[in-house]
């Protein structure tokens, strides 16, 4: 056992800087697509046809608005597969390098080029009630195990979630946050609701990953569900497939009022 300690000490600090310092972390994959403020070619629906999760729709200008058809994108469904970017003939859809940002309202994941930009900040609902620590009960309600893999990564020495005062707990009775992954299949719905009911007030729910937000690939099948919001009220939505550990950390700190929401009305700040 002495050797473990010796080698551990010799290697030095393994934990990344941050999380607030946006230090270069090599975990930002090919990110969510971005959409240029341009009209699409007439009758082009290549991206809409290519999207495996129906995240893209055509958006027509409203009354009194100029311009033609543009593309609306629901980040809550997007799995960042990059297919729309590959097929877009006019570079309206472009590769993004943003990690998936967490939001407090489902609408903030919906980008519609013809909608007015939402400028009003959402009330600080959480009001820093969990200022010091946060205990999480995770429930897998029908995931592919990708989200679990990245959640487990949060506990490795590189991300070291504990240093932020955030812990996973076994009992829902000791939990502040229910973190849901997966589409919520019929057999898991009951267990999910039981876990939520067992939690003391105040309690919050985070839907993590495209499946828990919208059902993504398995949406509306004979067995797949359509996300956590159909079963329990959701307070934070974290898109991505799967969200990277840094994105999960950002969303957890958002809940604690220790990070800033970066996506409003489907538009990423700055």
Partner 1 sequence: MNKLVMRMHAAGLPGAIETLLAGGGRMQMVYAHTQPGPLQVCYLASPGAGKPLELWCVDALPGGLPSMAAHVPLLGWYEREMQDLSGVDLVHHPEPHPLVIERRAGQPAPLSCADGCGRFPAPHVLPDVAGEDIQELDFGPIRADVFESAQFRFFYMGERILRYQPRLFLKHRGMEKRFEGLRADAAVHLAERVSGVGALAHALAYCQAIEDAAGIEPPPRARAWRSLLAELERTYNHLHYLGHLADTTTLKVGQAEGRLLEERAKQINAAVCGHRLLMNVLVPGGLRRDLHLPAHVPQELARLQRDSVRYLDQLERTSSFLDRLHTTGPLPRQVAFDQGATGPVERASGLDRDLRRDHPYAAYDAHPPRIILHGDGDAYARYRVRCGELLESLRLLRALARDLPAGAVRTDCPVPARGLGVGWAESPRGSVYYVAHMDPAGRLARVKIKSPSYSNWRVFPYTVHDSNMMDYAINEASFGSTIAGCDR
Chain residues that interact with partner 1, rule: CB under 8 A: 1, 3-5, 7-8, 14, 26-30, 50, 52, 79-83, 86, 137-153, 155-159, 168, 170, 182-183, 185-188, 191, 195, 216-218, 220-224, 241-242, 244
Neighbours of 118 (CB within 10 A): 14
Q: Residue 83: enclosing H or E segment and its boundaries?
A: helix 83-87
Closest C-alpha to 177, from 135, 124, 225, 227 = 135
What is the closest distance, in whole angstroms, from the C-beta atom of residue 57 to partner 1 in the complex? 17
Read off the tokens for 1: 């056992």
Nearer Cβ to partner 1 (26/117): 26
Phi and psi based region of residue 144 (left: phi greater than 0; alpha: psi -120 to 50; beta: remaining)? alpha
What is the closest distance, in whole angstroms, from the C-beta atom of residue 190 to partner 1 in the complex? 9
Letter string b/e over residues 155-192, b meaning 16 or more CB atoms within 10 A of that residue's CB: eeeebebeebebebeeebeebbbbbbbbbbbeebbeeb
Alpha-carbon gap, residue 47 to 51, rounded angstroms = 6
Nearer Cβ to partner 1 (110/244): 244
What is the closest distance, in whole angstroms, from the C-beta atom of residue 174 to partner 1 in the complex? 11
What is the closest distance, in whole angstroms, from the C-beta atom of residue 39 to partner 1 in the complex? 26
What is the closest distance, in whole angstroms, from the C-beta atom of residue 144 to partner 1 in the complex? 4
Residue-wise DSSP of 113-137: TTSPP--SPPP-TTTTTT-S-EEEE
Nearer Cβ to partner 1 (76/142): 142
Nearer Cβ to partner 1 (147/206): 147
Nearer Cβ to partner 1 (71/84): 84
């Amino acid at each position: 056992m002495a050797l473990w300690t010796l080698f551990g000490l010799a290697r030095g600090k393994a934990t990344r800087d941050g999380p607030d310092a946006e230090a270069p972390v090599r975990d930002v994959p090919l990110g969510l697509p971005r959409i240029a403020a341009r009209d699409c070619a007439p009758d082009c629906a290549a991206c809409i046809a290519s999207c495996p999760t129906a995240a893209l729709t055509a958006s027509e200008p409203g009354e009194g608005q100029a311009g033609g058809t543009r593309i609306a994108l629901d980040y809550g469904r997007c799995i960042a597969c990059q297919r729309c970017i590959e097929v877009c003939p006019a570079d309206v859809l472009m590769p993004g390098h943003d990690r998936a940002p967490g939001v407090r309202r489902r609408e903030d994941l919906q980008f519609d080029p013809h909608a007015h930009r939402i400028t009003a900040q959402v009330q600080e609902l959480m009001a820093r009630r969990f200022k010091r620590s946060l205990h999480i009960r995770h429930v897998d309600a029908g995931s592919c195990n990708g989200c679990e893999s990245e959640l487990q990564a949060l506990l490795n020495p590189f991300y070291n979630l504990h240093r932020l005062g955030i812990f996973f707990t076994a009992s829902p009775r000791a939990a502040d946050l229910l973190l849901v992954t997966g589409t919520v299949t019929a057999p898991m719905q009951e267990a999910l609701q039981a876990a939520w009911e067992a939690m003391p007030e105040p309690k919050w729910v985070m839907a993590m990953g495209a499946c828990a937000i919208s059902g993504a690939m398995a949406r509306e099948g004979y067995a797949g569900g359509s996300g956590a919001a159909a079963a329990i009220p959701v307070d934070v939505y974290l898109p991505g497939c799967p969200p990277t550990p840094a994105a999960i950390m950002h969303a957890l700190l958002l809940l604690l009022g220790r990070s800033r929401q970066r996506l409003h009305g489907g538009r990423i700040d700055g």
